[in-house]
Amino acid sequence: MNDRIRRSSVVAAAFAAALPSTTADPGPGPRLGWSTRLRPSIVPSFVVTALFFVLTSCASAPTVPPPPRLPQWNAMPAAILDSFCSNFREEGISMSTTINVVKTAQPSLITPLSMQSLSDSFFYRGPLDSSRAAATATATAAEIPITIPTTCSWRGIAPNTTSRYADTMTLELSPPIVNPFSRNAAGLFARMALAGESPTWYWLPLIPRGESWTSGRLTVLPYRQ
């Protein structure tokens, strides 16, 4: 844009130089009866064309959208599990039912298959390299701790220990990632399973509210294993 402004200034200077002076000297001799008005001059057409092109290109320059935002969390806030607790109550799961939750966010949930299911959920019809999408998302994903509230009967467990709890459902969350299939959107994956079998996959949108974030509506993903 600065280059365009400089070019506009050069063209404008050339345009001004092409205009006649308004203080022309009528020359030597008697000046009585001389008119000081000048005849209109014809501005060279190439100057007008160049000026129009530069000004039009400056006005029509595309605006680059800002990059999608991501939460800058050192720990996942308790409000995230509160959202899951509310959804589970709507599904008929009692608040007194113990649910394991892995205590740190798991980048391993971000896979080509989960990215494929996310694109299906958002009816994405463009070209898709799910492996590349997963690699891009995991590049900024960190294994941050999860704050566990008391809204449901959550029980924090260490990663890779779900097989020890054959009779208890376990919830795992991914770190927040950019959703490449929706404009300026972010969210996280979740997986709920009993002893690691027949998992249900979710997508939880994250919505910026100034400097804070709120969760959107939880969506069940069409995940196919």
> Are residues 149 and 116 located together in one domain of the fold?
yes
Q: Is residue 36 part of a domain?
A: no
Tell me: do 120 and 9 sit in the same domain.
no
Q: Per-residue pLDDT for 13 more than 80?
A: no
Q: Are residue 196 and residue 140 in the same domain, yes or no?
A: yes
**Residue 69 domain-assigned (yes or no):** no
Residues 52 and 95 in one domain: no
Q: Is the pLDDT of residue 16 over 60?
A: no
Q: What percent of the chain has pLDDT over 90?
A: 52
DSSP-assigned states of every residue in 72-138: --SSB-HHHHHHHHHHHHHTT--TTSEEEEESB--GGG--HHHHHHHHHHTT--S---HHHHHHHHH
pLDDT tens by residue, 53-62: 555 555 554 4
Residue 120 sits in the same domain as residue 182 = yes
- What rounded mean pLDDT belongs to the chain? 80
Same domain, 55 and 100: no
pTM: 0.70
User: Based on the domain organization, do 116 and 197 belong to the same domain?
Assistant: yes
pLDDT of amino acid 17 = 52
Domain that residue 122 falls in: 78-220
**112 within domain boundaries:** yes
- 12-27 average pLDDT score: 49
According to DSSP, the β-strands at 98-102 and 153-157 are parallel
Residue 86 and residue 49 share a domain: no
Residue ranges with strand state E in the chain: 98-102, 153-157, 169-173, 177-179, 185-194, 197-209, 212-215, 219-220
CA–CA separation, 203 vs 222, rounded Å?
10
Pair (51, 124) in one structural domain: no
The more confidently predicted of residues 5 and 173 is: 173
CA 155 to chain centre: 33
| Overall number of domains in the chain | 2
Same domain for 194 and 94: yes
**Which pLDDT tens digit goes with each residue over 156-210?**
999 989 888 888 999 999 999 999 999 889 999 999 998 778 899 999 999 998 8
187: in domain: yes
Same domain, 16 and 94: no
Tell which wins on pLDDT, 67 or 26: 67
> What integer pLDDT is reported at residue 10 of this predicted model?
47
Same domain assignment for residues 96 and 57: no
38: in domain: no
Q: Which tens digits make up the pLDDT trace of 94-119?
A: 888 999 999 999 999 999 999 999 99
Instruction: Give the pLDDT score at 211.
Output: 83
The answer to the question of residue 123 being in a domain is yes
